Amino acid sequence: MSKGLLAFVRIGLVIGLLFAMPMKGWSRVQEVDPPRIPARKLSKPPVIDGIIHPDEWAEALVIHDFWFPTRQQRGEFPTTAYLGYTADAIYVAFECEDPEPDKIRAQETKRGGAIENDDVVAVLIDPQNKRLEPYWFEANPLGTQLESIPGGSTENIRWRGDWEARARVHEKGWSVEFRIPFRMLRYPSGQRQFGIALVRSIPRRQELYVFPNMGAYFDEKRHTVWDGVEPPVQRRPIVFMPYWLGDANGSERTTRGGLDIKYVSEGGQTALLTLNPDFENIAADVASVDFSYTEKVLTETRPFFQEGSGFLPPRTVFYSVRVQELNGGLKLFGTTGNWSYGVLGGEYEMQNIQRQLLTGRLRYQVAPRSFVGVLGLDNRRGGVNEQVWGGELDLRRITNEGEWRLVGLHTRLQGDRDGRYSLARIERGAPDRRLSWYIQWTDISPNYRPRLAFVPERGWRGTEITTYYTDRPEGGAFLYWAIRVSGKSRRLYEGGVLDEGVSIGSEGLLRNYMSVGVQFDYLRRPPNIDRTVALVVRWNTLDLYRNGTLYAITGEQNGGRSFYIALNQKLELAPRLRLGIDLEQLHIDYPDTPDDDRSRQAIITLNYEITPERAIGGRLVVNRIESGGEVSTTRNFYLTYLQRVRRGFDLYVIYGLPNASRTQNRFAIKIVTPMEW
């Protein structure tokens, strides 16, 4: 380990201790109320049917005190929760009273879908009680489930673990019951204290009710301690997820098989092995055509890289989208004591050249919500020899006025390229009606160019400052509004300005659920000076199947006169038959050249939900992009059938190729069958 990295780690440990100790001038950490609750073991498990029978929940802990954090008052709509456990599962029930039950929002039926605009209740569980990222288990009044696994996971239900939720709407509101198996949670043997928080969301009022009382500032890691729980010491099965793919493209016929294996130890450590994974059938993001000076970040959709991704280095060190084809890989991640770690190794292909990859991250928790750590990446063979090593710190302290956070990252690239990346950030998160802000300083040397990282611009150092203010008025036209002001200045290593500017924006949600926003930007990026104004209008914002957005930007950009407009509209043509329309157009008129930038793109998506577990879909992507005198076009259509079930096998059928520039006469079937041993 280099001297610079050792110094960075020592500084991080010292600062971490300072954050952990009381400091003069800092407010005391605001404790939650109540700080702990007793665990109650149920002699008989309740029936999960959405109907809360008093005799079934008589032994459970009853919770009435749900708070509206922003206003520090009890939730206006009464909420009662019941909490208990058995030898193999945690049981939670919610009784959510509502004086206007006809206004309860319940739309999404697909597990893992978009339920954020529905009425929702959630159970947050930190099974190690270390103020770590919690598990989220959520359900809407239809019983539609959504879960979030710390560190990330794949979408296959049997792979990530199954749980139950049932709900019903009645004359006084709605009720829901949960069963969450202990086997879904990672915890060490002998654990007797879990972190627990309960949440109810009422989107039509923009209100969030929570237990325990966390004060005015809501943070998912601030929970009460569920004391005395006795989770089982269980043998966790090895999960196998083989797949078979049959592919017919024109006259070519191919078959392919592969395997993913997952094992979670009694202490919660996770190991994943992938052999010959299938990455071809996954539709990556369709990039927008709006103007940007740099490459755009794409979302990772491939299962092996999704699972446990939060335990691995950030994309400035490892950007998994760069790995185009992985032949085989091994991943280990988890927490033990105050340590958390993630390691990924494998062999991949880039332009028909075999290379080896090894990346990892090791962090130590120095205080609640605070870490210092080291990270690295080794990429070699096939004419490549590069290593990235670095240190990081992430220190947090919650006070009566909100949250303070200090983040630092320093990495060094060595091998056939040599460079460094440094970042320091301090931020203050505050509740509504108080100012939040952050200041970030970044320094990237000209040669910091790791092949498997995302660093679109190099050779600069600079500062960014952003402030924002939010409010949820008790009366008036707006349910919610926010204003943001930010500025930045970045200077090149060789002298001069990379860019500098200021941005001012505001957006508000009206009581008719229409949202209106405006933004003004000034950016000097030699030789250009950009001056733009943007308008965004959203309608039916709480309607999952009829919402829409109009977004327009006009002004001077990239040395020309620019106009960009985008329209997104969702429609439900018939019950369970949904249409999505995305239209974009960009035109930059350059005064000194005939080669204007012109881009047009249309994406038409049609989906029919046969059942919540099965759907047929189709997508048409058409675009024409003219830039620098060159023209590229896309005319692609494909059809899909998706089956993602609790029991049985997942099935993917596709005609076409999602990421092609032209429609392909290709038919493929993929079968995924998780098995336990």
Tell me what percent of the chain is helix, strand and coil, each rounded to the nearest 5. Answer: 5, 55, 40
- pLDDT at position 120 is 98
- pLDDT at position 511 is 95
Does residue 527 have a cis bond before it (omega within 30 degrees)? yes
> Residue 16: in which H helix or E strand, if any?
helix 3-20
**DSSP-derived secondary structure letter, 647:** S
Which residues does residue 67 pair with via DSSP β-bridges, in sequence order?
Answer: 74, 210
Q: What is the pLDDT of residues 384-414, one digit of tens each?
A: 999 999 999 999 988 767 899 999 999 999 9
Residue of 220, 16, 263, 43 whose CA lies nearest to 133: 220
- Tell me if the pTM is above 0.85: yes
Q: Which amino acid is at 325?
A: E
Q: Kindly report the CATH number that applies to the domain delimited by 31-227.
A: 2.60.40.1190
String of DSSP letters for 87-138: SSEEEEEEEEE-S-GGG------STTS--TTS-EEEEEEETT-SS-PPEEEE
Chain-centre distance for alpha carbon 311: 14
Residue of 161, 150, 262 whose CA lies nearest to 195: 150
Domain range summary for the chain, segments of one domain joined by +: 31-227
Query: Residue 120 burial (CB < 10 Å; 0-12/13-18/19+)?
Result: buried
**DSSP-derived secondary structure letter, 320:** G
Q: How far apart are CA 262 and CA 160, in angstroms?
A: 10
| 10-residue stretch averages of pLDDT, the chain, 677 residues long | 44 44 41 94 97 96 95 94 97 98 95 93 95 94 95 78 95 97 89 96 96 91 94 82 82 85 84 78 56 78 84 95 89 92 93 92 92 96 93 88 93 95 97 95 97 95 97 92 98 96 98 97 96 98 96 96 97 95 95 88 95 93 90 93 86 86 89 80
8 Å CB contact between 41 and 230: yes
- pLDDT at position 58 is 97
The CB density around residue 87, as the number of other CB atoms within 10 Å, is 12
- Tokens 């880039």 belong to which residue? 350
8 Å CB contact between 15 and 406: yes
